[in-house]
Each structure stands twice: as structure tokens, then as C-alpha cells.
Amino acid sequence: MSVLVTGIGELLTGRLPGDEGPEVPLLVERAAVVLERDRVAWVGTAEGARSDGLAADVHVDAGGRAVVPGFVDSHAHLVFAGDRSAEFTARMAGERYAADGIRSTVAATRAASDEALLAGASRLVGEMLRQGTTTVEIKSGYGLTVRDEARSLAVARRLTEETTYLGAHVVPDGPDGGAGDAAAYVDLVTGPMLEACAPHARWIDVFCETGAFDVDQARAVLAAGAAAGLGGRLHANQLGPGPGVRLACELGLAAVDHCTYLDDADVAALADAGTTATLLPGVEFSTRQPYPDARRLLDAGVHVALASDCNPGSSFTSSLPFCVALAVREMGMTPTEAVLAATRGGARALARDDVGRIVPGARADLVLLDAPSHAHLAYRPGVPLVAGVWQRGRPVLP
Ligand code: NIG
Ligand code: FE
């Protein structure tokens, strides 16, 4: 099936000078787009579409509204059970965020059936789609046994091709309920658990932070993952400064996520390595930590992505429009930079060039906004501006 969309008041293609592929401007006013099956076939002005005599099976008039690429959420933990709203409420009253809460979600997740985990994750993917997210990465990390990590990834695999094995989220409690044995757990994560999980995963991730895994343990887990054919990514520098960001750069990982506490050497390493720094402002919103400084990273030439980190503890939002608004208000990004970080930035963090842009040949993932420009995503925070979504060329909303 082909679709011709005309009457687009402003089209944000997401293409920047220097990108490979057909030359289209970053912004096109009075634009038109042709989608052929699951791909973008043509991008230009409405006038160009008329003079080229373009036609399609279906014609849609955007009515002067803006169109942006489908959002690419490159960091989400959607396979879990339980609720931690009491922990959030306590934080808003002054408690500090501690990654210890992860263990309560682990207990609830282990007790949940596969069907319940799939239903919960599907509901969140649906929420994301209604807010314009057409590609999502989903991590395990709330199972922390061979069986529970493998079934979490099997659930994730039913919802996305971007699945990440996060057995190294925290060291689970020992059988007596006391602190678990970290060295033995790393052996499990890099041995039998990896073997059970690798068939369901594209990526491997480690929470490299005080209280979770140290840099040597992270290195060991990433090396084992690479040997099993998985790409590496890291959670690092979330709760304080640390060596995680530099490890990610040294290993040339696709992305390192959080990046809240960075020194000048970290920023320089990110710029040199080309590792994408994925910023997760939903976390700072709901943990009352300081926001990461996106302006500093962009000015240093670092590739920046925005993602939701949707999870029941540190950031229970599924909304990239909300993250865009926070990034503009709190992190020094322009609206255009923030929307690009949530689209092409997320794609780069997942080493993908087929999503996150509206250019000929790209996947036909488009979002129609009930607004005249993409800036309204930050200008009108909290307003449900997503009026339509095409995913792989098919209208999935309304
Ligand atoms: O990305 N940082 C580690 N993991 C999650 C939080 C998980 C939780 O609190 O349940 C994160 O923020
Ligand atoms: Fe996370």
C-alpha cells in the first residue's frame, strides 16, 4: 500500500548535513511525503509533489500540522511486576533514591507469570505508541536468575527487536536473604545466564555504579557479551562520578546512559569515541537529582540521545514528549536539538540508521502533531499533541 501525505505545515526530516543518502533539508515547510509499503519513498514540498504528479493508494491531508519522525526510545525497562509509587511518594517528601528498590521489583517479577509480564510490557508499549514512540529498546534486569532473565527477554522479544540482557543490574540477595556473593553472581551472569539469554538479546548492559557493579565487573560482563555476539551498552555516572563513561568510550560502545555526573575527561572521551550519551531526564525528575548538562555535551561535539528509562523505580514515564520538554527546560537543549535527540539520537544509540529520520529509504515511522511546529512538544508540556502515528507505513493511531 502507498500513502501520500500532503498539507504538512512543517516536516522535521531529521536529516543533517553530512548524513549519507538522499539530500533533504532538516526542515521542510508546506511539505509532502510518500510512503510505499513500510518505507519512505519520497520527501519534498507539496508543490514538488504536484509538479511530479505523485499519487498513492491513500491520500491524507495533514491540515497544516507538523510531522516528525517516530520517536526512538533507546532505554526502557518494561518487563516487571509490582508498584513502587510509595517509594516515589517518600522521595518527593525528601527520601533519597537508592537502587535498593530494584530488589522489590525483582521479587514481584519473579512471582509473576509470563502472561502477566507480557501484558504489563505490552500495555507500556501501547502507551509509548500513543505518545509517538515507534521503536523501543527493552531490557531484562528484574529477574536476576537464569530462568527469570531468560523469560523476561523472551517477553521483550515479542514486542521489539531491540532487546537487552541486563542480568548485571544489581547483585540479588543471597538465599538467606542477606547480601549476595558478587563474584559468584558475575560468574553466573557471564556463564549460564548469558547462554540462556543471548539467543533472545541484541545487546548486553551493566549498571556500573557504586552499589551495583564496579568497572572490572562491568568489563568482564561486556567482554563475555561481546564473545556471545551481543553489542555493549552501559548504565553509568547516574548517582555520582565514576569510571563507567570512560570504560564505555574505551570499548567503543554504541551508548552510555544516564551521564548525570561527568568531569571534563568524560566529556572529552565521549566526543573522541563517538559513543552516544543517552540522557534520561525522567530519572532526575522523579529522583530529584540534578539534571545532566546536555548543553555542555552538545557544545563539546558529543552525540546526545534522549530516552525515557521507563521503569517502576527511577522513572515511571513512557513519554518522550515529556522528556523533550524536560530537556529543553532543564538541560539547555533547543526544541530542535531535543526532538532530534529523541529520534535520530535514539537511533544512533541503537546503531540504527533506518529509523529516526524521514528520508527516502528509511522506515516509514511518522508522527503527526496537533501543532504547527515540533517546538510545541516543549512549548506545550503535558499536552497530548500526538494526533496520528504511522509505523512501518501503517496507520496505528488514531
Ligand atoms: O536505569 N539505574 C539502574 N536501573 C534503573 C532503575 C531501576 C529501578 O530503580 O528499578 C535506571 O534508572
Ligand atoms: Fe535504566
Ligand 1 centroid to Cα of residue 148, in Å, is 17
Ligand 1 centroid to Cα of residue 214, in Å, is 16
For residue 315, give the nearest of 90, 93, 88 by alpha carbon: 88
Pocket of ligand 1 (CB under 6 A): 99, 101-102, 105, 207, 235, 238, 283, 309, 311-314
pLDDT digits (tens, 9 = 90+) for 304-313: 999 999 999 9
Mutate to test the pocket of ligand 1, among 77, 206, 285 (most ligand atoms within 8 A of CB): 77
Per-residue DSSP letter, 70: P
pLDDT for the residue numbered 99: 79
pLDDT for the residue numbered 360: 97
Question: How many other C-beta atoms are found inside a 10 Å radius of the C-beta of residue 53?
Answer: 6
pLDDT for the residue numbered 98: 84
Q: Is the ipTM of this complex over 0.90?
A: yes
Contacts of 5 (CB under 8 A, 6+ apart): 32, 33, 34, 35, 60, 61, 62, 67, 366
**Cell 559513543, residue?**
275
Residue 315 Cα: closest atom of ligand 1: 12
Q: Within 13 Å of residue 204, how many CA atoms lie on the same side as its CB?
A: 26
pLDDT for the residue numbered 29: 98
Question: How many other C-beta atoms are found inside a 10 Å radius of the C-beta of residue 82?
Answer: 16
Residue 75 Cα: closest atom of ligand 1: 1
Residue 97 Cα: closest atom of ligand 1: 9
Q: Whose CA is nearest to atom 5 of ligand 1?
A: 314
Q: Letter for the amino acid at 106?
A: V
DSSP-assigned letters across all residues of 31-49: EEEEEETTEEEEEEEHHHH
pLDDT for the residue numbered 327: 98
What does pLDDT average to in each consecutive run of 10 residues of the chain (398 residues)? Answer: 96 96 96 98 95 93 98 99 97 91 96 98 98 98 98 98 98 91 97 98 98 97 98 98 98 98 98 98 97 98 98 98 98 98 98 98 98 98 98 96
Ligand 1 centroid to Cα of residue 40, in Å, is 36
Q: Which CATH number fits domain 71-349: 3.90.1150.10, 3.40.50.620, 1.20.1250.20, 3.20.20.140?
A: 3.20.20.140
Strand pairing partners for 4? 34, 59
CA angle 184, 247, 239 (to 5 degrees): 80
Does this chain's domain 2-70+357-397 share its CATH topology with 71-349? Answer: no
pLDDT for the residue numbered 83: 97
Instruction: Write down the CATH superfamily of domain 2-70+357-397.
Output: Urease, subunit C, domain 1 (2.30.40.10)
pLDDT digits (tens, 9 = 90+) for 120-153: 999 999 999 999 999 999 999 999 999 999 999 9
pLDDT for the residue numbered 100: 82
pLDDT for the residue numbered 177: 86
Q: Letter for the amino acid at 251?
A: L
The residue extents of the domains of the chain are 2-70+357-397, 71-349
pLDDT digits (tens, 9 = 90+) for 242-282: 999 999 999 999 999 999 999 999 999 999 999 999 999 99
Ligand closest in space to the Cα of 82: 1
